[in-house]
Amino acid sequence: MPKHTYTFTKKRHNLTQILTDHDLASLGDAYVNFAYSLALSDRIGKPSGAKTKGSMLAEALRKAGLRKYLPSRMTRHMLADAAEALIVYAWLDGDITLEECVVVLEKDDDITSGLSQLLNIIKTRIKLF
């Protein structure tokens, strides 16, 4: 099946542009919560809606070694947005599938660790590195 190209996407030229894109972060928030909800639902055996906490996303970004690509003086909320922006960018660009995201998040009981692993996978696949 050919990859769908979304009309609103554009190639970013560096990682900082992706991590600081507020529009990507907004979409990423919904995407990450959906992927996490699917992983949790599969783990507990029934449909469940869940949200990731900003503190978890911010810590996962740090653990994945991505903090250095962002300006100094960023709040935890801004770091969480950066993680969400990168995750959805990787999905939109075809670097990772929703199914892969769910599998990675489902493997670990610690959501921060799962998010960090997901960000590390994306870091190795994204074409900007």
> Six-digit token pair at 5?
């190209």
Residue identified by tokens 């029934």 is 46
Q: What angle do CA 111, 73, 21 make, to 5 degrees?
A: 65
Helix (H) or strand (E) holding 74: none
Q: Express each pLDDT in 44-68 by its tens digit.
A: 999 999 999 999 999 999 999 999 9
Contact present, 80 and 57 (Cβ < 8 Å)? yes
What is the C-alpha to C-alpha distance for residues 80 and 58, in angstroms, rounded to an integer? 5
pLDDT above 90 covers what percent of the chain?
82
> Six-digit token pair at 81?
């947005």
Q: Express each pLDDT in 70-102 by its tens digit.
A: 999 999 999 999 999 999 999 998 999 999 999
Neighbours of 12 (CB within 10 A): 18
Q: What is the pLDDT of residue 128?
A: 66
Q: How confident is the model at residue 26 (pLDDT cuts 50, 70, 90)?
A: very high
pLDDT above 70 covers what percent of the chain?
89
Average pLDDT of the chain is: 91
Q: Is the pLDDT of residue 1 over 80?
A: no
- pTM of structure: 0.91
> Six-digit token pair at 66?
């991505």
Name the residue type at position 14.
Answer: N
Q: Is the pLDDT of residue 5 over 70?
A: no
Instruction: Return the CATH class of domain 15-125.
Output: mainly alpha
Q: Is the pLDDT of residue 19 over 90?
A: yes
